[in-house]
Amino acid sequence: MSSYRKPHPDNWTGRKSGNALYLHEKVECTAIEDTGSHPSQKTIAILGYACDEGVRRNQGRIGAAEGPDAIRKQLGKMPNHLSPEVRLIDVGSVECPDGDMEAAQNSLSEKIVDLLSARTIPIVLGGGHDIAYGHYNGIKKHLGSPASIGIINFDAHFDLRDDENGNNSGTPFYQIAQNNASEGHPLNYLCLGIRRDANDSQLFQTAEKFGVDYVESEGFNTSSWASIEKILRQFIDEMDHLYVTIDMDGFSSAYVPGVSAPSPMGFSPDIVLKCLKTFIESGKLISLDIAEMNPTYDIDSHTAKLAASLTHYALHSMTGK
């Protein structure tokens, strides 16, 4: 069984301006069932996926269940540059109290359907990368078909492990590929930042088999922008909708110590921002998540702050600021 925790105002504190200069003063804590539909207003909905059961099953270091609140706490202190007519709502978190990750993923997918039906733009904060399976299923259910959904994953890892031994944080894109294949659809999957020293040859073969597009870590930097941009544009052109998932462990651990599987040779924030800008400007981004933030291993909140900065960037640029 999974559970749903309503949003908590204690996660949203900071300097007080009395004039909505900070995001904690802008955000509305709203239970998901009270979200309503405000078609005339752009609304960004923050939802948590407070689950690290997939990480535990994948032999990783737990702690990511505390990720969503750690990110909220940093985000709330940041300046608000949103237009007054844009809404920012916190709709609480899906939890996984008894290790039933599948129930948490189902619950996440239902909440994504609700949020997309209410015409909000969801930003989901994790939690292990099993977030991607629930998140994608919600988008797919909302749209009615996986045909036109492109998945973009910023990650050191493919997360294409087969699920013979069960589902976990390393299997989400394999599960999606299997489901899509059984319905006669391909896996439309672009992975940015893949590390050769973090994915075995079987994973590269699986990527080959499913026709996955990927950019390896060595070439995932701003100096290689011309060739990266070409890959991005080709992928964007072939898709109607983009689902972006950012696994924090893809960043170099110099930026991001607070993850289960740190990447000393990982990528830098500047290339991720450049790519994100391209995806957002395409007008096709339907939903976004940030995965694998683990406060247990964070240092001076660097990881939570970077995750919050990415969220800050996304929510402003998706609403025209």
Ligand X SMILES: N=CN[C@@H](CCC(=O)O)C(=O)O
Taking CB within 5 to 8 Å according to partner kind, which of ligand X, Mn ion, none is near residue 137? none
Secondary structure of residue 94 in the 3-state scheme: strand
- Residues annotated in a binding site for Mn(2+): 129, 155, 157, 159, 247, 249
User: Do residues 260 and 60 touch, judged by C-beta distance below 8 A?
Assistant: yes
Among 32, 65, 124, 261, binds ligand X (CB under 6 A): 261
Is 161 a binding residue for ligand X by CB under 6 A? The answer is yes
User: Do residues 194 and 158 touch, judged by C-beta distance below 8 A?
Assistant: yes
Handedness of CA 6, 257, 56, 163 (dihedral sign): positive
Is 52 a binding residue for Mn ion by CB under 5 A? The answer is no
Contacts of 246 (CB under 8 A, 6+ apart): 153, 154, 155, 272, 288, 289, 290, 291, 310
The Cα 265–Cα 218 span in angstroms is 9
Piece of the chain touching Mn ion by CB under 5 A; list 101-109, 228-236, 249-257, 307-315: 249-257
Identify which of residues 118 and 177 has a Cβ nearer to Mn ion in the complex.
177
Identify which of residues 95 and 155 has a Cβ nearer to Mn ion in the complex.
155
Is 130 a binding residue for Mn ion by CB under 5 A? The answer is no
Closest to 248 (Cα-Cα) out of 303, 320, 190, 209: 303
Piece of the chain touching ligand X by CB under 6 A; list 153-161, 181-189, 216-224, 270-278: 153-161
Identify which of residues 44 and 272 has a Cβ nearer to Mn ion in the complex.
272
Identify which of residues 174 and 279 has a Cβ nearer to ligand X in the complex.
174
**CB-based burial label for 6 (10 Å; 0-12, 13-18, 19+):** middle
Closest residue to ligand X: CB criterion: 170
Taking CB within 5 to 8 Å according to partner kind, which of Mn ion, ligand X, none is near residue 298? none
Piece of the chain touching ligand X by CB under 6 A; list 18-26, 155-163, 209-217, 300-308: 155-163
Among 30, 169, 217, 263, binds ligand X (CB under 6 A): 169
Handedness of CA 207, 209, 212, 216 (dihedral sign): positive
Is 263 a binding residue for ligand X by CB under 6 A? The answer is no
Among 7, 48, 60, 122, binds ligand X (CB under 6 A): 60
- Residues annotated in a binding site: 129, 155, 157, 159, 247, 249
**Which one-letter amino acid corresponds to residue 296?**
T
User: Do residues 50 and 93 touch, judged by C-beta distance below 8 A?
Assistant: yes
Radius of gyration for the alpha carbons in the chain, expressed in angstroms and rounded: 18
Q: Please report how close the Cβ of residue 96 comes to Mn ion at its closest, in angstroms.
A: 17
Q: Please report how close the Cβ of residue 198 comes to Mn ion at its closest, in angstroms.
A: 8
Per the listing, tokens 């983009």 go with 242
Q: Where do contacts with Mn ion occur on this chain (CB under 5 A)?
A: 129, 155-157, 159, 247, 249
